Amino acid sequence: MLTFFVVCLWTVLGALLVGAVVRLLPGGPPARRAAAAGGFLLCALALYLWGASHMFATDIEETCTLQHHQPLEPAYGQTSLVPLHRRCNAHFDLVPPYVNPGVVAYLVACACCLGTAVRARLVEHRSPAGGRERNTEAQ
Amino acid sequence: MDEKVLAAQKWVNATYGGVSGYNRCPENGATGWATMFSLTRGLQVELGITALSDSFGPTTLSKLAALGDIGPSTSNKNIIRIVQSALFCKGYWGGNEDGTYDAATTASVTQLKRNAGFAVPSDGRVQPKIFKALLTMDAYSLLSGGTEEVRTIQQWLNSSYLNKSTFFLIPCDGHYTRDVQTALMKALQYEFGVPEDQATGNFGPTTQAGLRNHQVAEGDSGIFVKLFSAACVFNGRVGSTSTVFKTAFDSALTTYVRAFQEFSALTVNGRGDYQTWAQLLVSMGDPDRDAGACDTRFHISVDRARALVSGGYTVVGRYLDEDPDSTLDKEIQPGELDAIFDGGMRVFPISQYGARSLSDFTFPQGYAHAQKAHDRAVGYGFNTGTVIYFAVDYDATDPEITSNIVPYFNGVQSGLASRGKRYVAGVYGSRNVCSRVSAEAYARYSFVSGMSWGFSGNLGFPMPENWSFTQIKEFRFSASQTDSFDLDRDVQRPHADKGVGRDGIGGTESPVSKYVQYIADLYSTAVRYDKGNPSLRVMEYLRYPRYVDLYSGWQTLIGDVDRDWIAYAEDNGPNRVTSFTDPSYGVTVHADHFGATANAFYLKGSGSGTGANRGDFGGWGGDLSTFYGDWRNNADSYASGYAFCMDRLAKLNVSSSFSFGDMVEDVDGYLVGTAVKNGARIDEQVQSLIGGNGHLRRFTNYFAQRHGSSVSHAEDTARTMLVDVGDDDVLDAMRTQAIRQVSGWNTLLPGYLTDGKLDPYLQGYAETLQKLADQES
């Protein structure tokens, strides 16, 4: 439940941040949407690196037992990059639980923005207003 | 040297020096019991008592009560000066010292009472019980090594029960001690309904009945849960689990109780049942609980052994030798070991010569006793690695443990080493004796003499972390209708010292031969692989997979291993041996950590002079960095880094991020890695260090080779490691990251501490190295 709440929080914050930045940019809707996509990609990258920083452990046994008070089971302890995981045992992961869903949420948002940006650009090319402008300029 | 304390000492001696029965205190500006006793006697003079004594007893209390509260309206100026002197001795500002109870005196008394747990607005006056507390060495502020959680409970006990006639103020210093434990017992007794004047704090039948009637479990709340949680807090951490003072029994408390029950070898049910209450409060716990072991001075025949097994006892402790002038005949008899094994039991050996008074314990005697114990054990055929328990069979006080008991065990270790450390030293004694001897003289296991719960070494101390047996009751065991003998019941801790069976006698293989053979087999595999230095290949295999890759930092530190070699060795090499039991101290040594450290020193060497490099970080440097983070996490309890090192660094029975096993791995890794770098073969090095006698001088050799046997060199090298290694920025970043990973992104890094704050930490590390080396000679 807490994880769901945190994922929503991160997504909303990211969207607000990206929206605020994008509002300041010049250019038309497709350019804005592409910029938003870029912003979400950066958010995804930042959250991914934040999650990855939790996996660093000079001595995985000490980290699990002394710092997190979790037993280190022999089958666990290895790092996984996609998705981001480093488990001490079946129940405990060094990577916070909101990271992987959050990265996915940002990537989805990025894809959506990119998709709508491409579609908007394509619509622009096909619309009469756009065609008239080009025809005018060609003259 | 405190000016105000000196002035107080001079005043009390000058005022009462001429009175018969008064004892002068030293005039040295340092407070102590002598000063307190002098002030007490001075007070008794003022109260008209003629038979002076150091004890602030009922007579003193009642005569003081007759005067009313001591305050601004008290006419006896000397009594006020005694109050003011005592305040100065406790570190409070006593006022103008002219016998006038002024605003400063009032403020200090108010402050002291607040520290002692009385938060309500205070009248700033000194009631009789407060006066009694003033004339003690008790502290009401947090002392180094104490915790706020314990302090909260101490304050609560004071404020809740001071109005009871049999309750007196306890310290609020954050330390769990005898007086604090007694206070908790009294609190329980008051709550059980025991009449005030009969509450002694003793663990007698009434208290036991009360506990049986007030068992607690998850979901309960109220005063008994509160007292139960207090007892849990007093017992301290179990592994890394601890709990807090609370009124409601929640799931967190259940988790702690389960951990405590497992540690104490009780039934793990998460409830505050009678056995758990008893184990929290007194050293023998419930003396009638299941106990799988025993010890006796009587001889065990096959029939006796069979009878003991029927009674539930599977291990028996027996003596290696008899005192020269004794007729007890307590030692193992010819053929007795066979009888014990035939009867289905195992045995553990005890060495005791006298051991009932302080004078029996000196370094030379420990040395001589250890040599005799070794010779006797060899005579019986005990295999290498057997733990021998050296006995301290009386209630040694804390100062006596410092002056005699620890030196005796230093002698024991030296004596065993002089015979090649065939056997490992354990300790038998009270809880405090066992804990301190294990921490300071590296005894491997503790056999706790828990029967005498009132011993100064038992009451107020938690169970030693490395306990293997605990003695809980003595009684007369009936082996048959015609045969009975005195027997002590002992609880044997699972997975600790299993004792010795038939396979533990008469063997020639040592416990380390399996590991030494493993290294030799790995080396031959590497030779067959025929690529690069086979010793390096062995080290790489040892450190794989835990100390490789990016996220452990080892990829960045010294690079990758030869992955093809790893695959080759997994197919063609010997089965993995992950750890071995160290011959010198009986601790478990992990081969992967050792291999990684050796690999680091092989590839990078060590820092020159007081420099520190990647090789060092791969060993002691990395451990010292994470241990620094550990200290910052505990900075509330340990303002002094030196005290933190003394309590937690390389201690056999304390779990920390720089354990005794880590130290052995670091030291062995340096010795072997450096030797291999200079052209030696790793299999020969391990054979000589672990299979041969090298381990007897490992710390001495390390201290000499790395630091020229100089404490200041070790300190300076540690400083370089923690603050700035110089040109290697990546290494500086790794060290910082290692610290931050333990204590958080906003940690105060070593480079930002003042010298006054950092130096004691470095000194604690360097002195620990020296002590370990000294221990070997």
Residues A25-40 have pLDDT tens digits of: 777 777 778 888 888 8
pLDDT at A139: 45
Confidence of residue A137 (pLDDT cuts 50, 70, 90): very low
Set of chain A residues whose Cβ sits within 8 Å of the Cβ of B738: 58
**Same structural domain, B209 and B330:** no
Q: Do A57 and B552 touch (CB under 8 A)?
A: yes
**Low-confidence residues of chain B: pLDDT under 70:** none
Residue B153 lies in a domain: no
CA nearest to B551 within chain A: A56
pLDDT at A1: 60
pLDDT at A138: 47
Q: Which of B240, B553, B657 sits opposite A56 (nearest CB)?
A: B553
Q: Do A57 and B657 touch (CB under 8 A)?
A: no
**Same structural domain, B217 and B80:** no
**Same structural domain, B349 and B306:** yes
CA nearest to A54 within chain B: B741
pLDDT at A3: 66
**Same structural domain, B480 and B566:** no
Backbone angles phi, psi at B92, to 5 degrees: -100, 155
Measured N-to-C along each axis, helices B622-633 and B660-677 cross at an angle, to the nearest 10 degrees, of 160
**Same structural domain, B415 and B531:** no
Interface test with A, best of B241, B544, B552 (most A CBs within 10 A): B552
Residue A115 has pLDDT above 70, yes or no: yes
Last residue of a domain, one of B137, B167, B199: B137
Residue B161 lies in a domain: no
Q: Residue B107 CA to chain centroid, in angstroms?
A: 39
Measure A59 CA to nearest chain B CA, in Å: 7
Tokens 């005894």 found at: B443
Interchain contact A55–B (C-beta under 8 A):
yes
CATH (domain of B269): 1.10.101.10
Q: Do B549 and A65 touch (CB under 8 A)?
A: no
**Same structural domain, B611 and B494:** no
Average pLDDT over residues A12-25: 76
Last residue of a domain, one of B504, B527, B554: B504
Q: Which two tokens stand for residue B297?
A: 């001075």
Q: Do A69 and B657 touch (CB under 8 A)?
A: no
Question: What DSSP assignment string belongs to B278-305?
Answer: HHHHSTT-STTS---EEE-SS---HHHH
Residue B748 lies in a domain: yes
Measure B742 CA to nearest chain A CA, in Å: 7
Q: Is the dihedral of CA B307, B311, B313, B316 positive or negative?
A: negative
Q: Strands B293-295 and A85-86: what pairing?
A: unpaired
Q: Say how far apart CA B330 and CA B321 lie, in whole Å.
A: 7
**Same structural domain, B394 and B325:** yes
CA nearest to B625 within chain A: A58
Residue A121 has pLDDT above 50, yes or no: yes
pLDDT at A25: 72
pLDDT at A129: 57
Residue A71 has pLDDT above 60, yes or no: yes
In DSSP terms, which residues pair with B446 in a beta bridge? B427, B467
In DSSP terms, which residues pair with B486 in a beta bridge? B476
Residue B216 DSSP one-character state: B
Last residue of a domain, one of B454, B475, B504: B504
Tokens 């102590």 found at: B32
Residue A136 has pLDDT above 70, yes or no: no
pLDDT at A2: 67
Domain hosting residue B31, numbered range: 3-137
Any idea where the domains of chain A sit in the sequence?
Answer: 44-96
Interface test with B, best of A59, A60, A73 (most B CBs within 10 A): A59
Q: Do B545 and A78 touch (CB under 8 A)?
A: yes
ipTM score for this prediction:
0.73
Interchain contact A66–B (C-beta under 8 A):
yes
Interchain contact A60–B (C-beta under 8 A):
yes
Q: Is the dihedral of CA A41, A42, A45, A47 positive or negative?
A: negative
State yes or no: cis peptide before B511, omega within 30 of 0: no
Q: Which of A56, A62, A69 sits opposite B551 (nearest CB)?
A: A56
Q: Say how far apart CA B757 and CA B739 lie, in whole Å.
A: 17
